Amino acid sequence: MDIKRAKQEIKDSIEAYLAKDEFGEYLIPAIRQRPILLMGAPGIGKTQIMEQIARECKVGLVSYTITHHTRQSAVGLPFIKEKTFGSESFSVTEYTMSEIIASVYEKMEKTGLKEGILFIDEINCVSETLAPMMLQFLQGKTFGNQKVPEGWVIVTAGNPPEYNKSVREFDVVTLDRIKRIDVQPDFEVWKEYAYEQGIHPTMISYLELRRKNFYRMENTVDGRIFATARGWEDLSRLIQVYETLGKDVDREVVCQYIQHPMIAKDFAAYLALYNKYKTDYAVEELLQGKWTQITIQKIRNASLDEHLSLVGLLNGKLSQLFTECYLTDSYITKLYEYMVYYRDNLANISLKAVCQKAENDLESARKAELLTRNEEKTFLRVNTFLENIWLKMEGITQAESDIYEKVKEAFSREADGLEKQTETVDQTLQNVFDFMDAAKGQYKLFYDMIIDKLRVDGLLISDNILYKGMVAHDDFVIRRKKTIVKRMRNYLDYICNCDYLSTSLIPIGDGVALSYKNNKRGDINE
């Protein structure tokens, strides 16, 4: 299965393991809570999804890579203890608390979360001395004589033997006591994640064109060469920072992350062209609704690679605008919560108290380790707004109701800023649609740019679909328009036969296609 489905399977299992009856007892007793084994190639996102699951389930997370551990750190140091059985005394070997088990208790103490996930990575790559302990851990949830606390679910991850020479095969007895989930790399799933995380649009457009380069692992005479999802994501972050600093990313830099020379060379060349197209096509002007027939003709005559690069550039800019608008909306929503709190308790609290509450809420959320990076930024933005207002009001003698009115006015200005930002995004999106309409024959390319952003139950409207009747009948086709007509027909055939769309054609004017999105792309086999 893909990583998205694997995440949901793990999340469902954890929710089931932590479900309780009316007496507070776990519906599935700890002894029947099988440890989960996530098996998949390196770099496909196994560790990242565990962080996401912990936040979404609001439980703690303790993560370890077991290959770094010795028998002593995992099991604990042995010590001799005198015990009496009947009338005789015996020396008995016991163990100090395992570092791993101790970390679970420390996490509980630090965050206040009594339930969580103990994640052990590279579980099948342990040393020979530690291997028996790992089997004991999976079967009995103990290290030495120390048991994993109740309410903590064990999730492990490992690599198949073809990716790691140090892999140890589990026997049937062990496999019969775990819940195994096998994960395969899937570009379509990663692409959805990439849009959400703001991955550089170059990555997405390049991999759309060369999907086989998304994940490759090959053996050569010089050793193993590879490209992984982790490598693409990390390189994306570097490119974004380099752009901010005015630095160039060349082949040598790409090779540091994409350790497959051929792919690194190919992507570096694509990136150079991609940056060139920013100027050639005046992307910023396109987004503002400014273009000429020369630009349109240039696009029509361009290669497929160039088409995809342009789509990637437009998509990247749109994604950036969407993200900024979403973050501002989150900020206004969170700020509104404190404004309501201030208003409802105006008789008993001050603006300073509201500031203190916001600060305390942020620290509590940080302590529980349940905030995403964007959620933390939203909190910080709210705190900055409240603190700035309070500093301006400090030392001024006014009734608290008057102070509230001034804070309310400042909040209204922030909300107005969101409305203006939304209008800008809406206009920019309209400009892209207008450009799409002008660039007849490029509908499929623009379709790929927007379809994943359209929600399920949404409606896609394709205008001028019959293109003066030429798409409907060959008798109307003008010779110099043959290429455009062919592309329009291919697009029409695609949306009419696509399993996740229900399309109706309305032969009015130049024709309109109404496509109802009934599923996400990738959820149904086309």
What is the pLDDT tens value at each position of the chain, 526 positions in all? Answer: 778 888 888 888 888 888 888 888 888 888 788 888 888 877 777 777 888 888 888 888 888 877 776 667 777 777 788 888 877 888 887 777 777 888 888 888 888 888 888 888 877 777 777 777 777 777 778 877 778 888 888 888 887 776 666 667 776 777 777 888 888 888 888 887 787 777 888 888 788 778 888 888 888 887 788 888 888 889 999 988 998 898 888 888 999 999 898 999 988 888 887 777 777 777 777 777 776 667 666 766 666 666 666 776 777 777 778 888 888 999 999 999 999 998 888 888 888 888 999 999 888 888 877 777 888 889 999 999 988 888 887 777 778 888 888 888 999 999 998 888 888 888 887 777 666 655 555 677 677 767 777 778 888 877 776 766 676 667 776 665 666 677 778 888 888 888 888 888 777 666 777 888 888 776 544 4
Closest of 334, 328, 318, 213 to residue 268, by C-alpha: 213
- Please tell me the distance from the alpha carbon of residue 64 to that of residue 98, in angstroms, as a whole number: 13
Place of tokens 């776990």: 26
- Please tell me the distance from the alpha carbon of residue 358 to that of residue 329, in angstroms, as a whole number: 18
pLDDT at site 467: 65
Structure tokens at 119: 């994640």
- Please tell me the distance from the alpha carbon of residue 79 to that of residue 162, in angstroms, as a whole number: 40
The radius of gyration computed from the CA coordinates of the chain, to the nearest angstrom, equals 29
Q: How many Å separate Cα 400 from the centre of its chain?
A: 43
pLDDT at site 169: 74
DSSP conformation class of 467: T
- Please tell me the distance from the alpha carbon of residue 515 to that of residue 500, in angstroms, as a whole number: 10
- Please tell me the distance from the alpha carbon of residue 445 to that of residue 450, in angstroms, as a whole number: 9
For residue 402, count CB atoms less than 10 angstroms from its CB and return exposed for 0-12, middle for 13-18, buried for 19 or more: exposed
3-state secondary structure of 389: helix
For residue 346, count CB atoms less than 10 angstroms from its CB and return exposed for 0-12, middle for 13-18, buried for 19 or more: middle
Inter-residue contact 305 to 274 (CB < 8 Å): no
Q: Does domain 3-184 have CATH number 3.40.50.300?
A: yes
Closest of 284, 289, 222 to residue 259, by C-alpha: 222
3-state secondary structure of 200: coil
pLDDT at site 492: 80
pLDDT at site 525: 43
DSSP conformation class of 115: -
Closest of 315, 323, 328 to residue 287, by C-alpha: 315
- Please tell me the distance from the alpha carbon of residue 403 to that of residue 386, in angstroms, as a whole number: 12
DSSP conformation class of 518: -
SS (H, E, C) 408-444: HHHHHHHHHHHHHHHHHHHHHHHHHHHHHHHCCCCHH
For residue 203, count CB atoms less than 10 angstroms from its CB and return exposed for 0-12, middle for 13-18, buried for 19 or more: buried
- In the chain, the N- to C-terminal Cα span, in Å, equals 17
Structure tokens at 21: 């009856």
Task: Point out which residues pair with 84 in neighbouring strands.
Answer: 89
Helices (H), 146-198: 172-175, 187-197
Torsion sign (Cα): 26, 29, 30, 32: negative
- Please tell me the distance from the alpha carbon of residue 119 to that of residue 35, in angstroms, as a whole number: 10
Helix or strand run (H / E) with residue 156: strand 152-158
- Please tell me the distance from the alpha carbon of residue 207 to that of residue 366, in angstroms, as a whole number: 36
pLDDT at site 445: 67
Torsion sign (Cα): 224, 228, 231, 236: positive
- Please tell me the distance from the alpha carbon of residue 198 to that of residue 254, in angstroms, as a whole number: 19
Q: Phi first, then psi: give them for residue 246, nearest 5 degrees.
A: 75, 25
pLDDT at site 524: 45
3-state secondary structure of 395: coil
DSSP conformation class of 27: S
